[in-house]
Amino acid sequence: MSLEEHAELTLLLELLLARERQVLIGLYFVDQSQREVGERLGMSQMMVSKIHRQAIGHMKEMLSDEMYGGNGSSLVT
């Protein structure tokens, strides 16, 4: 990942809701399963799955938003 992509990912994570950010960090940076993330955050695996989908959707929306020029990014395809 380039420095530019890392900076963009960091910004996107900061813009997410706290629980979305916590779920993504657990799944992708701590390498926990959905069950493990759920146990840590006090929610079911199904809720973690739902929040994960929402977070990815929010990130895609932000990447295609006007503030990013509407042309997306190499981070999410």
pLDDT of residue 75: 57
Q: pLDDT tens for the chain, 77 residues: list them.
A: 788 888 888 989 999 999 999 999 999 999 999 999 999 999 999 999 999 999 999 999 988 875 556 555 555 54
Q: Measure the CA dihedral 41/47/53/54, to 10°.
A: -80
pLDDT of residue 77: 47
What's the structural domain count of the chain? 1
Give the CATH number, domain containing residue 14.
1.10.10.10
Q: Which domain holds residue 17?
A: 3-64
**Sequence-separated (6 or more) residues with CB below 8 Å from residue 24:** 13, 16, 52, 55
Look at residue 49 and tell me if it is in a domain: yes
